[in-house]
């Protein structure tokens, strides 16, 4: 046991104090369990001594969810195996440990190469069937492919393609969860459900856990804020998006989909923002100017890059050799929209692209101002362009931190219902103009979910930006939206959760927390600010 | 200056960068791997299209391959190529780099007068880098390889900068000439929807061995003196070792290795920050 828990040595373990939010925490001890048995032992010791536990995956989160607030860090990076495969009702379900990275899952599926040494015969048989069935994929696609599956489950991660395929939640068939009292729950979709909020489930050891989940109204948009609560729901959904506050996911089954034969992407440049927003609405099938395009294929992803983001890239492309291979962003390109199609063959994709051209023209654009990718190599170029924007933002902020070390970017993550898309943009533009703050806007516009990245030049800017962010959060909520659509609440956005659900809602979340983690040991500071939790 | 007649040579290669070998036959597994234009050739096409846009003229994309390569050649039309020509004939099959050069030379002559031939520096599947220079010899024109930028072109000559092992050198050649280009030369554009629309109706000119008056002894398998006696995966001559543990532990392991190999002395590693 002594060997499993190590004293936290800042000199050696410093990286485990931080995540991609760039905030830094503190811890007294750390462990790297390799198996469920080791994990159970560690949790038992910690729970007995009432030591707070922060669970970590790959630390790619943007809200500080994996940053420890004292106590112990359980880092799951060594529980990273693919443990089996199942074929059920026409679907393949891949069983993985939480520490495995998305990129590793993708690679294994692409190459159909799995270490089956410890697999059951059923899994080996299913693998044979998989090989005969042709390529399959796991659809969630957060920008950071080095995210861990456990992390993705815990913040219900999504990405560009979630517009069509939905977030991580939709692709998790079962989870195994370890609670701080030492019990382990295996929860399967469709099998373990709540009825009027009530649930009753037996742990692996045979103990019964029962209770009543409270209820509140969740926004009807893409959402990663607070616990998932519905009157009749699958019990595993309470753990998906729970940010490590209820239990530790020790295993999960990923539901796979047949991989599309043709993946085509198009970046479309429009002459102004208005035209771009009209194009977005038209391409997702809305009526624009009284006309609905009926022959348009729905894309699997719709992404947006505003004029300020393109200008930032133009500058980076000139000065930074790393961006030298970016396509030329011509001076008349004002606003960009990326759409992606998944089809059965290239011929079908070509037809879709050509009718997309007509749609561009009808929205005031020119089909010459497009970049089309028809193969994986060219798709990489379009992805490079998409990823270059957040990267440029980070580089710019790093530069400014040289003179003002406390500056960080302020990245919003709000989503609103379809009918509020245009008004939300008007609000962003108006308030940015009024305050004179520098910002770039990009992201998942298909779900009315763009990230406004405020780029403060000074601490005054930073303070003003924070106020602006809170204003926008309130506006998004009153429009029926969410304060966080994909990054989660973590430790950085707890104030926004209160805006969204009010004190009553937070109280209900605390009830949920008490049901599964009565001593409040798990992931202190996530979702609830520590003060609120003590109350 | 007068306009430029440019020919860009194009090869079809497997899209995958991870080459898979059939361990029994030691041959490349090509099944199920999507075909793309050789990535280095995309720089050749881009440079040709840019030159045409600057100086006026015409760009012809030329390839030798199976009939389905016509679809890939259409993609070059979407990028700004004016005419696509495909040498396709069973008699061309099985060609090595020499026979390929003879066939392409026939194709180039068939297209009429030309000023400049541009090839990628090599293909990503065969990696020989021989076809470009070999083609220039068959055409009897000057050539230079590894071109990273074109400084000047007029009706008589081309001046370009080529990469060498030690740096770079400036080469001036009279036209017509052939160059092979490296990645540094440009950023290949992606096709636009307009380009793809235009390419839909673009014809690909098919040429047989007879059309280019090919000497049958010089093309295809018959014209290929190269014999693949054996292919094998080279034995690994370098070893790599991955240190694990905390940064301090890893540093200690590294120092121990360096000392053991007498690359540093114990004293050097101790006590210094």
Listing DSSP states for A425-468 in one string gives HHHHHHHHHHHT--EEEEEEGGGTEEEEEE--SSHHHHHHHHHH
Supply the pLDDT for residue A406: 85
Q: Do B193 and A327 touch (CB under 8 A)?
A: no
| Residue A328 sits at the chain B interface (C-beta within 8 Å) | yes
Give me the residues paired with residue A338 across strands.
Answer: A267, A303
Q: Evaluate if residue B17 carries a pLDDT over 80.
A: no
State pLDDT tens for residues A468-519: 999 999 999 999 999 999 999 999 999 899 999 999 999 999 999 999 999 9
Name, in order, each residue with C-beta under 8 angstroms of A172's C-beta and a sequence gap of 6 or more.
A153, A189, A236, A240, A252, A253, A254, A255
Residue B124 has a pLDDT of 84
Which chain A residues contact residue B196 at CB under 8 A? 350, 353-354, 372
Q: Give the nearest partner residue to B248 out of A12, A325, A367, using CB atoms.
A: A12
Q: What is the dihedral of CA A429, A431, A434, A437, to 10 degrees?
A: -80
Q: How distant is the Cα of B7 from the closest Cα of chain A, in angstroms?
A: 23
Between positions 372 and 431 of A, the ones with CB within 8 A of B are 372-378, 381-382
pLDDT band at B13 (very low <50, low <70, confident <90, very high): confident
Q: Do A301 and A222 contact (CB within 8 A), yes or no?
A: no
The answer to whether B28 contacts chain A (CB < 8 Å) is: no
Q: Are B224 and B98 in contact (CB under 8 A)?
A: yes
Q: Are B76 and B190 in contact (CB under 8 A)?
A: no
Write out chain A residues lying below 8 Å of B194, CB-based: 357, 366-368, 370
A304 min Cα distance to partner chain B (Å): 18
* Bond before A358 cis per omega within 30 degrees: no
Which DSSP letter does residue A484 get? B
Q: In angstroms, rounded to a whole number, what is the distance separating the alpha carbons of residues A442 and A300?
A: 17
* A372 vs B15, B34, B192: nearest CB: B192
Question: In this structure, which long-range contacts are made by residues A69-72, counting pairs with CB atoms below 8 Å and at least 24 apart in sequence?
Answer: A69/A25, A69/A26, A69/A491, A69/A524, A69/A525, A69/A530, A70/A25, A70/A26, A70/A27, A70/A28, A70/A524, A71/A27, A71/A28, A71/A29, A71/A46, A71/A521, A71/A524, A72/A5, A72/A27, A72/A28, A72/A29, A72/A30, A72/A31, A72/A46
Residues contacting B83, CB < 8 A, separation 6+: B58, B59, B60, B61, B111, B205
pTM of the predicted protein model = 0.88
pLDDT > 70: what percent of chain B? 90
Cβ-Cβ contacts under 8 Å between A and B: the total is 67
Mean pLDDT of B178-204: 95
Q: What is the pLDDT of residue B1?
A: 54
Q: Report pLDDT for B267.
A: 65
CB-CB under 8 Å, B196 with A353:
yes
Tell me which chain A residues have a C-beta less than 8 angstroms from the C-beta of B247.
12
- Does B201 contact chain A (CB < 8 Å)? no
pLDDT band at B34; cut points 50, 70, 90: confident
Q: Over the stretch B81-121, which tens digit does the pLDDT of each residue have? A: 999 999 999 998 888 889 899 999 999 999 889 999 999 99
- Contact flag A327-B200 (C-beta cutoff 8 Å): no
pLDDT at B15: 77
B193 CA to chain A: closest CA distance, Å?
5
Query: Which residues of chain A are within 8 Å of residue B191 when distances are taken between CB atoms?
Result: 371-372, 374
CB B36 within 8 A of CB B139: no
List, in sequence order, every beta strand (DSSP E) within chain B.
4-9, 12-14, 21-22, 27-28, 35-37, 57-64, 83-87, 116-120, 143-153, 157-163, 168-174, 177-181, 204-207
Residue in B closest to A8 by C-alpha: B246
> What is the per-residue pLDDT for B262?
86
Chain A residue with Cα closest to B197: A354
| pLDDT above 80 for B234 | no
Please list the pLDDT of chain A residue by residue as tens digits (535 residues): 458 999 999 889 999 999 988 889 999 999 999 999 999 999 999 999 999 999 999 999 999 999 999 999 999 999 999 999 999 999 999 999 999 999 999 999 999 999 999 999 999 999 999 999 989 999 999 988 999 999 999 999 999 999 999 999 999 999 999 999 999 999 999 999 999 999 999 998 889 999 999 999 999 999 999 999 998 999 999 999 999 999 999 999 999 999 999 999 999 999 999 999 999 999 999 988 877 777 788 999 999 999 999 999 999 888 888 888 899 999 999 999 999 999 999 889 999 999 999 999 999 999 999 999 998 889 999 999 999 999 899 889 989 989 988 888 899 999 999 999 999 999 999 999 999 999 999 999 999 999 999 999 999 999 999 999 999 999 999 999 999 999 999 999 998 999 999 999 999 999 999 999 999 999 999 998 764 443 3
Contacts of A382 in chain B (CB under 8 A): 190
The answer to whether B259 contacts chain A (CB < 8 Å) is no
């Amino acid at each position: 046991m002594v060997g499993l828990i190590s004293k936290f040595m800042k000199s050696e373990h410093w990286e485990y104090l931080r995540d991609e939010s760039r905030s830094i925490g503190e811890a007294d001890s750390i462990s790297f369990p390799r198996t469920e048995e080791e994990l159970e032992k560690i949790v038992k010791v910690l729970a007995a001594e009432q030591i707070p536990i922060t669970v970590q995956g790959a630390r790619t989160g943007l809200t500080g969810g994996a940053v420890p607030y004292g106590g112990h860090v359980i880092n799951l990076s060594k529980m990273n195996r693919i443990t089996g495969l199942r074929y059920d009702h026409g679907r393949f379900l891949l069983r993985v440990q939480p520490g495995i990275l998305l990129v590793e899952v993708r690679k294994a599926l692409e190459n159909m190469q799995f270490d089956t040494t410890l697999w059951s015969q059923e899994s080996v048989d299913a693998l044979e069937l998989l090989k005969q069935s042709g390529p399959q994929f796991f659809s969630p696609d957060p920008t950071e492919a080095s995210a861990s599956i456990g992390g993705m489950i815990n913040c219900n991660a999504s990405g560009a393609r979630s517009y069509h395929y939905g977030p991580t939640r939709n692709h998790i068939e079962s989870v195994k969860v370890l609670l701080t009292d030492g019990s382990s729950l295996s929860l399967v979709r469709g099998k373990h459900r709540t009825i009027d909020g009530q649930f009753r489930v037996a742990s692996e050891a045979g103990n019964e856990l029962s209770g009543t989940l409270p209820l509140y109204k969740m926004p009807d948009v893409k959402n990663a804020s607070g616990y998932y609560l519905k009157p009749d729901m699958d019990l595993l959904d309470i753990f998906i998006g729970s940010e490590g506050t209820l239990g530790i996911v020790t295993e999960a089954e990923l539901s796979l989909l047949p991989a599309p034969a043709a993946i085509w992407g198009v970046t479309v440049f429009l002459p102004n923002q208005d035209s771009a927003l009209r194009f977005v609405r038209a391409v997702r099938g809305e009526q624009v100017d009284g006309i609905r395009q009926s022959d348009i294929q729905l894309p699997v992803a719709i992404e947006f890059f505003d004029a300020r983001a393109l200008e930032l890239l133009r500058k980076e492309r000139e000065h930074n050799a790393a961006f030298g291979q970016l396509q030329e962003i011509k001076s008349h390109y004002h606003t960009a929209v990326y759409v992606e199609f998944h089809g059965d063959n290239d011929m079908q994709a070509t037809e879709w692209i050509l009718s997309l051209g007509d749609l561009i023209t009808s929205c005031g654009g020119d089909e010459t101002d497009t970049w089309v990718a028809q193969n994986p190599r060219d798709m990489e170029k379009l992805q490079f362009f998409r990823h270059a924007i957040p990267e440029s933002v980070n580089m710019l902020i790093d530069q400014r931190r040289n003179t003002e070390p406390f500056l960080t970017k302020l990245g919003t993550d709000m989503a609103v219902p379809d009918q509020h898309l245009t008004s939300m943009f008007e609000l962003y533009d108006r308030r940015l103009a009024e305050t004179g703050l520098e910002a770039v806007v990009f992201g998942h516009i298909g779900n009315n979910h763009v990230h406004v990245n405020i780029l403060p030049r000074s601490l005054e800017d930073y303070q003003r930006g924070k106020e602006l962010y809170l204003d926008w959060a309130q506006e998004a909520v009153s429009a029926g939206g969410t304060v966080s659509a994909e990054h989660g609440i973590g430790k950085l956005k707890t104030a926004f959760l209160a805006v969204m659900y009010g004190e009553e809602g937070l109280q209900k979340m605390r009830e949920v927390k008490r049901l599964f983690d009565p001593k409040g040991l798990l992931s202190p500071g996530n979702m609830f600010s520590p003060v609120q939790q003590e109350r | 200056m007068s306009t430029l007649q440019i020919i860009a040579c194009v090869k079809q290669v497997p899209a995958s960068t991870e080459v898979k070998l059939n361990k029994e036959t030691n041959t490349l597994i090509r099944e199920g791997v999507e075909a793309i234009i050789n990535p280095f050739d995309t720089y050749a096409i881009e440079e040709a299209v840019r030159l045409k846009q600057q100086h006026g003229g015409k760009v012809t994309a030329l390839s030798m391959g199976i009939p389905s390569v016509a679809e890939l050649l259409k993609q070059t039309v979407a990028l700004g190529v004016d005419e696509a020509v495909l040498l396709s004939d069973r008699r061309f099959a099985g060609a090595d780099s020499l026979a390929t050069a003879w066939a392409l030379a026939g194709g180039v002559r068939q297209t009429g007068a030309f000023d400049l031939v541009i090839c990628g520096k090599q293909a990503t599947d065969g990696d020989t880098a021989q076809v470009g220079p070999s083609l220039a010899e068959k055409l009897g024109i000057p050539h230079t390889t590894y071109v990273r930028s074109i400084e000047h072109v007029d009706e008589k000559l081309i001046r370009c900068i080529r990469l060498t092992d030690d740096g770079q050198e400036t080469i001036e050649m009279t036209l017509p000439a052939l160059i092979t280009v490296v990645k540094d030369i440009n950023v290949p554009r992606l096709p636009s929807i307009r380009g793809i629309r235009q390419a839909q109706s673009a014809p690909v000119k098919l040429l047989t061995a007879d059309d280019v008056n090919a000497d049958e002894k010089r093309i295809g398998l018959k014209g290929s003196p190269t014999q693949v006696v054996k292919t094998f995966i080279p034995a690994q001559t370098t070893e790599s070792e991955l240190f694990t543990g905390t940064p301090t532990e890893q540093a200690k392991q590294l120092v121990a290795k360096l000392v053991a190999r007498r690359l540093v002395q114990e004293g050097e590693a101790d006590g210094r920050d």
